[in-house]
Structure 1
Amino acid sequence: MGFKTLIKKHKLKFGFTLFLIITEAFLALLFPLFIGYAIDGAIKGSYNGAIQLGLLGLAALIIGVGRRVFDSRFYAKLFQSMGSTAISMIENNRPSVKSARLSMTRELVEFLENSLPELISNIIGLFGVIIIIAMLNLNVFYSSLFVVLIIFQIYWISSKKTIRLNKSSNDEFEKQVDVISKNNNEELSLHLKKMMQWNIKLYDLEAVNFSISWIVLVSFLIASIIISGSDGIVQYGVLFSLIMYVFQYMENVINLPLFYQNALRLKEIRERIEQV
C-alpha cells in the first residue's frame, strides 16, 4: 500500500486534523493584532481589548490541546500500518534494509504528526501576516514580498545538492544493521564516519543558506522600523502590532525553507519505501 493510498484510506481523519491545524493557525495569526487593540484600549481606559485577548487565548488552548490528543492516537495507528507495509515490500529477508526503512517510515509519520502542522501554520501565517502588513503599511508590504523571493531563491539553488546528499546518507544508513552484525570494529567505525560525513555536509549547506537568509531578514527588520517612522505612524498599538507582525513574518520566512529541505529528504524516503 503506497503513501497516497494510505492518505485516501484515512482521508476523513486527515481532513479533521487539517481543519484543526488551520483553525489553530488562524487563531495564532490574530494574537499580535489583538495585543495591539488591547494596548490602545488600555491607554484609553477600556479593557474590552484585554478581555477579547483572553478569550482568543482560551480558544487557541482548546483547539491546540484537542488536536494533539487526536493526532497522537491517529498517527500511532498510521505508523503501525505503514511500517508493516514497508517491511512486507522488501524481498530476500534483508534485515539491514528493513530496519533502516522502518526508521524512515517513523520519520515520515513524525513529519505528518509534528512538522506538517507547523508547516501549514507557517504557510497560513506567512500569507496572513503579509496581508495584515499590507493593511498597516504598504511600503513594508512591498519590501516583504521582495525578501520572500530572495530567500526562496537561495534555497531553490541548493535543492539538487540537498537531494543528492540525502540519498547518499540514506544509502549508507541502509547498511547499518549488516555492518553491526559483522562485529568488525574497523568496518563499523568507517560506516559511522561516512554517516557523519554526509550529515556534516548537509548541516554545512544549511548553515550557509541560513546565514545569508538571516542577514536579509535582519536588514528587512531595520528597514521596516525606519519606513514605519518615516511614514508617521503615531498610534503606539498600531506601531507595536506592525513590528510584531514583522517579527512573525521573519519567523515564518526563516522556517519555511527548512520545511522545504525536510520535504526533499522525505520525498526521497517515500520513493525508497515504495520501491518493490
Structure 2
Amino acid sequence: MLTDRDLTVGTLLSVFRWRVGLTWALILSETALTVLIPLFIGFAIDGLLTEVFQPFFYLGALLIALILIGVIRRIYDTRVYGNIRVELGKALAFRFSNLPISSLNARIGMGRELADFMEETLPSAIAGVVQFVASGILLFYFSPTLALSACVVLFGMISVYTLFHSTFWRWNRALNEQVEQQVRILEQRSDRPTHVHFNRLRQFEVKLSDTEAVLYGTIFVLLIGLVLFNLWFATQHLSVTPGAIFSIVSYSWEFAEAALALPVTLQSWSRLSEITTRLDRSNGTAQPRT
C-alpha cells in the first residue's frame, strides 16, 4: 500500500483519505459544538438572571451532544491510526531492509511520528483553525476592536515562530541522527560509548526544550495581553450584559488557545520535515524543507 510511495503526511492523507476524512468530520462537528459553549453559557446566564430557563436547557443539550460525539470519535480514531501505523511499519521495514538494525529501528520509530502527528497534532490544528475563525467572528460581532486586537496578536505569534523554525529543525536533525546510532552503540556493551550517547541525547533534548520554553514564554505574553485588553475594553467601552462580558472573555481565551495550536503545529512540522527527508527513498543528506 505504501511501498512505492514517498512517506509523507500528504501521502498518508491520500492513501487513507476516506477513513481520515470521517474522523475529520467528527472533529469538525465536535469543534463546532465546543465553539458554541461560551455563547450558550452567556445566554443561560442572562436567562437565569431573568428567570427564563429555556437557554439553560439548550446549554445542557449542547453539552450532551458534545460528549457523545467526542466518545465516538476517540473510539474510531484509535482503530484508524493504529492501522496506519501498521502499514507505515511494513513499508519502512521493506524500504530500509539493507540498513543496519540500529538505523532501521530508529527510522521505524520516526515513521510512527507521522501517524502520531495525524492523530494528535493535526486534529488539534483543524479544531484550532475552526475555533480561531469562529472566535474571531464572534468577537467582531461584539466589537470590531476586539477582533482587531486578536488579529494583531496572531500576526505577532507567527512572526515570533518564524525566528525559531530553523533552530527547531537543526536540533531535531541532531537528535534523530543520534537516535539512529543507539542500537549500534548498545551492541558494543561498553560503558563509555553508552554514557556518551545518552549524554548527547540529553543535550539535544535540553536544547529543544530551552528553545520551546523561550518560544512559548514569548507567545503566552502576547496571549495574556489579548485577554486582558479585551476584558478591559468590554467593561469600559461596551454597553453589554454580564452574560455578554462572559462570552467576550471566553472567546478571547478560546482565540488564544486556538492561536496557540499554530506554533505547536508548526513546531511539529519542523520536526516532521526533517524526518520525512530522512525517510525519503533517495536517502540523501537532509536539508531543511520549507
2-structure distance, mates of 1:132, 1:87:
49
Aligned partner of 2:96 in structure 1 is: 90
The residue aligned with 2:120 is 114
Match of 2:247 in 1: 241
Partner of 1:217: 223
Instruction: Output the CA distance in 2 between the equivalents of 1:158 and 1:110.
Output: 22
Q: Distance in 2 between matches of 1:75 and 1:53?
A: 33
Mark the CA change 1:189 to 1:132 in structure 2 (over 3 Å): closer, same or farther.
Answer: same
- The two structures have a TM-score, normalised by structure 2, of 0.91
Aligned-partner Cα distance in 1 for 2:260–2:119: 21
How far apart, CA to CA, are the structure 2 residues paired with 1:274 and 1:128? Answer: 38
1:120-269 alignment runs, 5 A limit:
120-269=126-275
Change over 3 Å in CA distance of 1:230–1:6 after alignment to 2: closer
Which residue of 2 is the match for residue 272 of structure 1? 278
What secondary structure is seen at the aligned counterpart in 2 of 1:45?
A: coil
Aligned to 1:54: 60
Moved over 6 A (4+): none
1:30 and 2:36 are equivalent in the alignment: yes
> Deviations for 1:1-21, whole angstroms, at most 9, x for unmatched residues?
233444322211111111111
Contact 1:233 1:239 survives alignment (8 Å): no
Q: Distance in 1 between matches of 2:202 and 2:172?
A: 12
Segment of structure 1 superposing worse, 132-141 or 252-261: 252-261
Give the superposition deviation at 1:118. 1.4
Q: Which amino acid is the alignment partner of residue 247 of structure 2?
A: S
SS of residue matched to 1:261: helix
The answer on whether the counterparts of 2:20 and 2:80 sit within 8 Å (CA) in structure 1 is: no
3-state SS in 1 of match to 2:52: coil
Deviation of 1:109 (Å): 1.1
Q: Which moved more, 1:217-226 or 1:53-62?
A: 217-226
Of 97-106 and 174-183, deviating more is 97-106
**1:164-213 CA-partner distances (Å, limit 9, x unpaired):** 11111111111111111110111011111111111111111111111111
- What is the aligned-residue RMSD (CA, Å)? 1.4
**1:156–1:236: structure 2 CA closer, same or farther, 3 Å change rule?**
same
Separation in structure 1 between the aligned mates of residue 256 and residue 246 of structure 2, nearest angstrom: 15
Alpha-carbon distance, 1:70 to partner: 1.0
Partners of 1:216 and 1:8 lie apart in 2 by 37
Q: Deviations over 1:78-113 (max 9, x none)?
A: 111111101211142410011111111222212211
Between the aligned partners of 1:6 and 1:259, the Cα distance in structure 2 is 17
Q: Which moved more, 1:1-10 or 1:71-80?
A: 1-10
Equivalent residues of 1:86, 1:274 under 8 A apart = no
Q: Could you say which residue in structure 2 is the equivalent of 1:101?
A: 107
**Unpaired stretches in structure 1, ≥5 consecutive residues:** none
Which segments of 5 or more consecutive residues in structure 2 lack a partner in the other structure? 283-290
Amino acid at match of 2:170: R
